[in-house]
Structure 1
C-alpha cells in the first residue's frame, strides 16, 4: 500500500474532523457518554443486536417483533441523540421521559393482544393517547437522527389526510379524523409497523450487524490493502484502487458517506501523487462511495424494501442489480483510464506494500464472509437466515488469525480481567455498532410508515400517477423523465431509503400503469433515489470528500456527477422497452433459465457502448482532448445507444463511428487543441 509519507500531501486531523461532520449530518450527531451512562447505553445497544439475532434464528411473531424493534429504535435514538446541540453529551430528564414513553407504547400494544388490533377502527382513549404519542416520538426521533426535512414532509402527509375534503380536485378525498388515523397507524401492521419497519426489523438491522462484524474483524482494512495491491504499480492504479476498494467496502460500511471517508483518508495522498486535482479526486472518491449503495451482495437499505414491496426474494433483487452494477463500475473504470491520459499520469507509479497472493493467503476468509450470504441463499436459506449464518461465519473465521479474532485469547488466560476484556472486545463493539449504526435508518423506516399509511388510506398513489400520466400525454418516455425528476427532487431533501419508499408508493404506479413491469419500475426509482447521495444540497458524499481533499464542495459535486452520470442513464434502458429488461436478468430466478441469453448479451453490450460514448464525451478526452464537435457527437451517440430501439441504436453507432473517425484522424495527423496542458491543475470544474 502506498505510504502517504512519500508525498507532501497528507490528510489532516482537521480535514478528517470536517468529514466526520458530514457523516453526522447523515447519521446524526450522537452523544459520546462515559461512565455508567455510557455502559448502560452500550448494554442496551448490544441487547438490541442480540434480540434481533435471536429473532432471526427463532420464531418471534410479527406483531411482537415490529413493535419491539421500533421501541428499541425510539428509546435509543432519544437517549443517544440530543434534542439540540447545546445539550450534547448529556441526557436530560425529558430524554428519559420520552424513552420510557416509547417503551410504554410497546408494552401497551403487546399486552392488548388481539382485542387491541380488532378495535383499530374504534380506538378508545388510551389507544389514541399512545398512538398520538407514537407518531410524535417517531417524528422527533427522525428529527434528531436525520434532521428536519423528513419530519416536515411526514407532517404534510398527515395534514393531507386530515384536510382531504377541503382540497381542490383532483387531490380531494373523504378525510380522516384523529381516531381513524391513529387506529391505522398504530393498531395495524399497515402504518408505522408496515412494510418499511418489517424490513428494518428483519433484514436491515441484521445486515448492519453483519457489516459491523466484518469491520471489527478487520475485513475493511483487508479490502483496502487488497485493492491497493491488486491495482497498484500502473498509471491508472490509483483510480482503479478507489473503484475496487469502494466496491469491496460497500458491505462493511453500509453507507456511501462512510465509504467515502474511510477510503478517502487513505487514498487521497495517493491520488494527489499520481496527478489528480483536488476536486477530481474528491469526485472519484464520492462516486466510489455511491457505488457501495448499489453493489451486491450487500446493497443499501432500500434494496431490502424492494424485495418486500414486490414480494420477491432478496436474491432476485441481487440478480436484478448485477448487470446495472457492472455497468456502473465499467463507467468508473473508463473514467479512470481516461484520467491517465487527461491528467498526464503516464509516468507515475506507486508502490505495493504486499503482494495479492500474500494478502489472500493470510486473510482469504474475509472474502468467504462476504460471499457466504449469496451461497446460503442459493442453498435455499431465507435472506434472514442467510445473513444470520453469514454473521456466524464471519465471527468464527475471525479466529483463524490472532490479529482478527473478535475475542482476545487473553480473555481465557487472565480470568481476573475477563469482564474488562470482554467489554472491550471487537465482538461487543460490533454488536453495539450494529444497533447504533441503523438507528437513523430505523427511524426513517418508521417515519416512512406514516407516509405509506396516508397514501394507502387516501389513494394518493393512484391520484398522483394519473396526474403524471396526464402531464406526459400518455408518453412512456415523458412519464419516465417526470418520474426521474420527482425522485431526484425528493432525493434532494431526504435520505435514499426515504426517497425510495415515498416514490415507490406515489410514482411507481404511473410507470406500471403504462405497462412497465413492477420490478423494472421499482429498480428505476431505486437508482434515481441513490442520486440523492451526490445531489446538492444534501450531497453528503462529495462534501465529505471535499473536506478530505481540501477541494471546493460544489466543484467536487460536479466532478462526481461527471463520473457517475453515464451509468445513471442506464435505468431508462430497462423502463422504455421490454428488450431493455434483459439488463435486470428478467428479475426472477424462475425465468432466468429460459431467458434469451443472446438478447441479454446484446442489450448489455449496446448499453456498454453507450456508456463508453458518454464517458468519453463527458470527460472530453480519448486519445487526446476532444473537440467540441466530437464531444457533442459522442454524448448524442451515448444517449441514442441507451435509448432502446433499432433506429436509435443505428443512429447511436453511426454518430459514435463518425466521432471516433474524426478523433483518430486528428490524433494521428495534428496537434490537439489545448496541447499545452500537461496536467490536471488547470481545471477545477467538471472538465
Structure 2
C-alpha cells in the first residue's frame, strides 16, 4: 500500500485521542488532570458496557442512570465554560470561575445518581407518590440534561425542548391545536424523572445498549487501520476509471461512514486527500467538495453500521435490527449510485483524465493486506443475521476485530491503541447519549400533554389527506429541525409527532420511519446550515454557501429516494421479488437519466429539448409501478420513461451533437 502513498500522497486516517495527548504532555497541570480523569472514566465505562454485553444488563433504570451519569460528567468536563477546550490552561479569574461552575455541575450530576441508586427499589416504588426531595432532584436532573445538551448538541435543541416543556406545563395558555389542560409540575417530574417515559425512556435505552458498542467497534476499526484500507481499496477499484478520484472518494467515504457515523468527521478525514486530488486532476473545487460532503453524509444510511437512529427505528417497530438493515440496502445503493453517475458525467464533461494503473495499488494486494478487517465486519453481520441482539453482535464483532488485527503487523493494535479506541468511542457517544436524554424529555412532554394525538390529526387536516403534501411537510419539518439538532434527535421528534399521521394514511411503518430518518440526515448537505458541505468547502477553499448548493444538487437522490420508497415499498423488500427487481432497475435508470439532465451531459452536451426530454424520462421512470397516477397505471408511465430515456440515449450515443430544433448550438440549431 505504500505505492499509493507515494503516488497519490495521502496519509493515515487517525484521530489524536485524549490518551495520546496525555502521553506526550510533559507538565502536570490541572487541565492534564481533568483529561486523565476523562480518559479513566471513559475507558472504565467502555469495559462496563462490554461486560454487560456478554453477561446481560442489570436492572434497567440503574443501568441507564449509570450510563447517563458518566456521559453527562464527560459532557460537562470536555465542553467547559469560558474555555474553548478543556486542554486550555485555567490561568485567569474567568476561567477559574468557569471551572468552579463545571465542578459544581459535575457534583450535582453525581448527587442525582446517588439519590436514585441509594435504594433503587424504594425509589421505583415511589413512582406516583413522590417525596418532596424527588421533585427537587427531578427538576435538577432536567436542568442538568438541558445544560449538557447546550454544550454538546447546541442551543437549538435546548430551545425546541424548552418549548415542549413550557407547553406541557402551560398548555391552557396556548391556542389552536396547542391548547389543552396544563400538566401539574409533580406529574411532569414523575413522568420525566421517575418513570421510563421521559429522560430514561427508549432513546436512552438504545444509546446505552446498542449505540455505544457499535461506536466502539467503529473506533477500533479506525485504530486498526481500516480507514487507510477502505481508501486504498476504493482507489484500487475505481481510480483508473473515468473520474476515478471522485469515484474513489464516493466509495471510500461510504466505507468510512459505516464505521464513524459522522458526516463532518468523514469529510475531514477522507476529504483531506480526495478533495485536493480531485482538484489537481481538473475537477471544479466546488464540485470536489460537494462530492466528498455527499458521500460522507451517506454513511449514516448505509448498512450494516448505520446511524444511531437506525437502532431506535428497530426498537420503535419492535423488529430485529437486521430488518432495518435489509430495508435500507436498496435506498443506500440508489443514493451512492446517483453520486457515482454525477461524478461520471462531470468527468466526461470537463475532460478529466484517468489515473494510470501504475500509480494505483492493486486491489488483490490491498485485500491481501486487509482482508481480515472485512472479515471482522462479516462476523458482526453474521451474528446480526442469525438472530443475536445488536448488543451481543457488537460484542463478538469487537472481540473478533481485536483478535484479527494481530494477523498482520500493519494492523496490529497495541494495548494503548485499544484503550485509545475505547476512549474515543465513548467520547463520540457523549453527544448521542445527551441528545437521546433530551429527546426523551420531548417525547415525555408530548405524552403528558396529549399534543402528539392532536398534532397528528392537525397535520392530516392541514394536508387535506393528501399523502404527497403530508410527506412534503414532514420533509420540510425534518430539514428545519436538522439545522440545529442531531440526526437522532430529529428522527425521534418527527417520529413522535408526524410519523403516526403517515401511518394513518396507510404508509407502511418501516417506510414512514425511514422517511423521517432520511430527512433527518439530509440537513448536513442542505443550505443554509450544511455542516458537511461547509467542512468540504474549508478544505477546497470554496465559498461555503455555494458549496452547500452544489452538494444539494449532487446529493439529489437523498431528497427523492424517500418519496420513492414510501410510494413503492418494494424498494424496501416489501412485496414480491419481481416488483423489487423491476423497481430497483427502473430507479437506477431514472436516477442515471436525472443525473445526466442535471449535469447537462449524455455522450455530449445536452441542450434545449434534449435536456427536457431526458428530465421527463427520468421523472416517468421513477414513477411507482404499483400505483395508478391520474388513472394511468404507474408501470405504464415507468416503462414509457425507460423507453424515452433509452431512445434519447441511443440517439446521443450515435451522434453527440444536439439534434432537436429547439437546441442552441447544435448541428441543426
TM-score of the aligned structures, taking structure 2 as reference length: 0.89
Give the number of the structure with larger relative contact order, counting CA–CA contacts within 8 Å between residues 6 or more apart: 1
Kindly tell me: are residues 6 and 125 of structure 1, through their superposed partners in 2, closer, same or farther at Cα, counting changes over 3 Å?
Answer: same
The residue aligned with 1:417 is: none
The residue aligned with 2:40 is: 43
- Say which is worse superposed, 80-89 or 601-610, in terms of deviation: 80-89
> 2:31, 2:303 → 1: CA distance?
37
Matched, 1:377 2:363: no
> 2:664, 2:404 → 1: CA distance?
55
Offset at 1:494? Answer: 1.5
Report the secondary structure of 1:402's partner residue.
coil
Report the secondary structure of 1:127's partner residue.
helix
Offset at 1:234? Answer: 2.7
The residue aligned with 2:76 is: 78
> 1:358, 1:4 → 2: CA distance?
14
Offset at 1:667? Answer: 6.5
Counterpart among 374, 390, 407 of residue 400 in structure 1: 407
CA contact (8 A) 2:335 2:558 kept: yes
Kindly tell me: are residues 670 and 616 of structure 1, through their superposed partners in 2, closer, same or farther at Cα, counting changes over 3 Å?
Answer: closer
CA contact (8 A) 1:122 1:179 kept: no
Q: Within 5 Å, which residues of 2 pair with 1:246-261?
A: 246-261=253-268
The residue aligned with 2:473 is: 482
Offset at 1:138? Answer: 0.7
Deviations 1:107-140 (CA, angstroms, capped at 9, x unpaired) = 2112232332233333222111111111111111
Kindly tell me: are residues 529 and 635 of structure 1, through their superposed partners in 2, closer, same or farther at Cα, counting changes over 3 Å?
Answer: farther
Matched, 1:558 2:549: yes
Deviations 1:349-383 (CA, angstroms, capped at 9, x unpaired) = 47544311112112211101122211012233111
The residue aligned with 1:56 is: 53
Offset at 1:83? Answer: 2.1
Counterpart among 604, 629, 633 of residue 624 in structure 1: 604
The residue aligned with 1:366 is: 373
RMSD after superposition: 2.5
- Say which is worse superposed, 310-319 or 243-252, in terms of deviation: 243-252
> 1:359, 1:34 → 2: CA distance?
42
Matched, 1:643 2:643: no
Q: Within 5 Å, which residues of 2 pair with 1:350-365?
A: 351-365=358-372
> 2:119, 2:326 → 1: CA distance?
42
> 1:443, 1:403 → 2: CA distance?
36
Deviations 1:26-77 (CA, angstroms, capped at 9, x unpaired) = xxxxxx9863332221111111111111111122221111111110111111
> 2:302, 2:445 → 1: CA distance?
32
Report the secondary structure of 1:468's partner residue.
helix
Offset at 1:674? Answer: 8.7
Unaligned runs of 5+ in 2: 18-28, 91-97
The residue aligned with 1:138 is: 145
CA contact (8 A) 1:209 1:434 kept: yes
CA contact (8 A) 2:570 2:580 kept: yes
Q: Within 5 Å, which residues of 2 pair with 1:239-250?
A: 239-250=246-257
The residue aligned with 2:21 is: none
> 1:398, 1:76 → 2: CA distance?
29
> 1:94, 1:180 → 2: CA distance?
30
Report the secondary structure of 2:177's partner residue.
coil
Offset at 1:309? Answer: 1.0
Matched, 1:66 2:64: yes
> 1:345, 1:658 → 2: CA distance?
29
> 1:33, 1:305 → 2: CA distance?
39
Offset at 1:208? Answer: 0.8
- Say which is worse superposed, 398-407 or 425-434, in terms of deviation: 398-407
CA contact (8 A) 2:590 2:618 kept: yes
> 2:479, 2:53 → 1: CA distance?
35
Report the secondary structure of 1:120's partner residue.
coil
CA contact (8 A) 1:232 1:352 kept: no
Report the secondary structure of 2:550's partner residue.
helix
Matched, 1:187 2:187: no
> 1:292, 1:33 → 2: CA distance?
38
CA contact (8 A) 1:274 1:349 kept: no
Offset at 1:440? Answer: 0.8
The residue aligned with 1:615 is: 595
- Say which is worse superposed, 343-352 or 552-561, in terms of deviation: 343-352
The residue aligned with 2:26 is: none
The residue aligned with 1:26 is: none
The residue aligned with 1:230 is: 237
Kindly tell me: are residues 488 and 35 of structure 1, through their superposed partners in 2, closer, same or farther at Cα, counting changes over 3 Å?
Answer: closer
> 1:86, 1:381 → 2: CA distance?
43
Kindly tell me: are residues 341 and 306 of structure 1, through their superposed partners in 2, closer, same or farther at Cα, counting changes over 3 Å?
Answer: same
> 1:34, 1:362 → 2: CA distance?
40
The residue aligned with 2:489 is: 498
Report the secondary structure of 2:351's partner residue.
coil
TM-score of the aligned structures, taking structure 1 as reference length: 0.87
- Say which is worse superposed, 623-632 or 438-447, in terms of deviation: 623-632
CA contact (8 A) 2:435 2:488 kept: yes
Deviations 1:534-587 (CA, angstroms, capped at 9, x unpaired) = 1233311000001111111112112211111134312212223xxx1111112x
Matched, 1:154 2:161: yes
Kindly tell me: are residues 214 and 33 of structure 1, through their superposed partners in 2, closer, same or farther at Cα, counting changes over 3 Å?
Answer: farther
Deviations 1:508-552 (CA, angstroms, capped at 9, x unpaired) = 011001111211110111111111111233311000001111111
Matched, 1:606 2:604: no
The residue aligned with 1:25 is: none
Q: Within 5 Å, which residues of 2 pair with 1:531-542?
A: 531-542=522-533
Deviations 1:462-502 (CA, angstroms, capped at 9, x unpaired) = 21111111111111222222222222222222121111110
Matched, 1:316 2:317: no
Kindly tell me: are residues 86 and 337 of structure 1, through their superposed partners in 2, closer, same or farther at Cα, counting changes over 3 Å?
Answer: closer
Unaligned runs of 5+ in 1: 21-31, 408-421, 587-594, 677-687
The residue aligned with 2:417 is: 426
- Say which is worse superposed, 242-251 or 435-444, in terms of deviation: 242-251
Deviations 1:231-287 (CA, angstroms, capped at 9, x unpaired) = 222332212211111121123322111111111111123212321110000000001
Kindly tell me: are residues 353 and 620 of structure 1, through their superposed partners in 2, closer, same or farther at Cα, counting changes over 3 Å?
Answer: closer
Aligned residue pairs total 631
- Say which is worse superposed, 201-210 or 458-467, in terms of deviation: 458-467
- Say which is worse superposed, 278-287 or 337-346, in terms of deviation: 337-346
Kindly tell me: are residues 627 and 490 of structure 1, through their superposed partners in 2, closer, same or farther at Cα, counting changes over 3 Å?
Answer: same
Kindly tell me: are residues 11 and 349 of structure 1, through their superposed partners in 2, closer, same or farther at Cα, counting changes over 3 Å?
Answer: closer
Offset at 1:628? Answer: 3.3
